[in-house]
Amino acid sequence: MEKRWLALVLGMGWLGALPAARAQLPAPGTPYPALQAPMAPPAVPASSPQSPAPPGAAGPGAMPPLMAPPIPPPGAAPSLSVTACEAPPAENPFGTWAHGSAEPERFYVNLEYLGWFVRKLDTPVLVTAGAFTDPVPAALGQPGTRPLVQAGDVDTHQFLNGGRLTLGYDLSGNEAWTILGSAFLLEQRSGHVGVRSDGAPGSAVIARPFYNANAGIPDADPIAVPGIMAGGISIDTPRFFYGGEVNLRGLCCTGDLSRVFFLAASATCHSTRA
């Protein structure tokens, strides 16, 4: 019973103090009183030039007075500042292209080194030696005829250095369709072999064999005949190989770290001189 009376007395006292507290608050819409500036510290003597000026004092090196932050009026909604954040760009799994861009360039150039192994020239027998007593001296098929220069004796360069230049242009901008043009060139190599006879009596007949279409038999063109004439022959076999092609390439499918292309059209031209 005593506890109830005590609680009732405390509640009545709180209700009586509430109107007095409300009377001390400013009316709605009344601005708050300005904050009082802090008391300025004592002035520094002029004989101390290195001492910084106190806050609020005028003159060189003086610090600006402290300003109280503005207080919003009662009932005003707080203002919030929202900054939009952009999502980071997706990483290109194939790395960056030219100029550090994640997008491929529409036009590009590619230069390659070529090291090619080529087959030897398939040449017939070029020079023969034969007996003077044969019906057709030094002709192929005669009993005393033997080859002097044949296939592989002149063309001894099978490894050739070269280069290839490729130009590409992306027609669609996303490598769906690309036109490619390339040209390659191999270095020129030359083989050399020479045969000579002084035509001394008892020496062999040196000749160039060929097939006589008029007579229908193998024949020979003499170069050196013993006891009649001396002569020789020199054979050079330069090789010059080049070519080019134009392709239309399409993108078939892509993966995380792979791309599959196909050729829709191709035109190729190769040429060799020997």
pLDDT tens across the length of the chain (274 residues): 555 555 555 655 555 555 555 555 556 555 555 555 555 555 555 554 555 555 555 555 556 666 656 666 666 655 555 555 555 555 554 444 444 455 557 888 999 999 988 777 777 888 999 999 999 999 999 999 999 988 677 766 678 899 999 999 998 888 888 899 999 999 888 778 889 999 899 899 999 999 999 989 999 999 999 999 999 998 887 878 889 999 998 888 887 777 788 777 777 776 666 5
Three-state DSSP at 221 gives strand
Those residues whose C-beta lies under 8 Å from the C-beta of residue 64, and which sit 6 or more positions away, are 55
Report H helices in 146-252. Answer: none
178, part of any domain: yes
Q: What are 54's strand-pairing partners?
A: none
Q: Is residue 75 part of a domain?
A: no
User: How far is it, in rounded angstroms, from Cα 91 to Cα 191?
Assistant: 55
User: In whole angstroms, what is the distance from residue 143 CA to residue 150 CA?
Assistant: 18
- Supply the DSSP string of 80-130, one letter for each residue: ------PPPPPPPTT---GGG-SSPPSEEEEEEEEEEE-PPP-----EEEE
Range of 148's domain?
101-273
CA distances in angstroms from 121 to 13, 16, 211, 238, 243, listed in the order given: 123, 123, 20, 11, 18
pLDDT (0 to 100) of residue 162: 93
Q: Determine the Cα–Cα distance for residues 125 and 139; give it in Å rounded to an integer.
A: 11
User: What pLDDT score was predicted for residue 33?
Assistant: 56
Question: Is the residue at 62 inside a domain?
Answer: no
Q: Is residue 15 part of a domain?
A: no
Structure tokens at 93: 């799994």
In this prediction, residue 259 carries a pLDDT of: 77
Is 234 inside a domain boundary? Answer: yes
Q: State the pTM of this model.
A: 0.46
SS3 sequence, 7-33? HHHHHHHHHHHHHHHHHHCCCCCCCCC
Cα 244 from chain centre: 21
Q: How many domains does the chain have?
A: 1
Separation of CA 54 from chain center: 64
pLDDT of residue 98: 45
The pLDDT, as a whole number, for residue 161 is: 92
| 51 within some domain | no
Tokens of 208: 């160039």
Please indicate, yes or no, if residue 14 is contained in any of the structural domains: no
> Residue 74 domain-assigned?
no
Query: How large is the greatest C-alpha to C-alpha distance in the chain, in angstroms?
Result: 162
| Residue 208 · residue 126 · CB < 8 Å | yes
Q: Extract the runs of DSSP E, i.e. beta strands, from the chain.
A: 107-117, 127-130, 146-149, 159-170, 177-186, 189-197, 205-212, 217-224, 231-254, 259-273
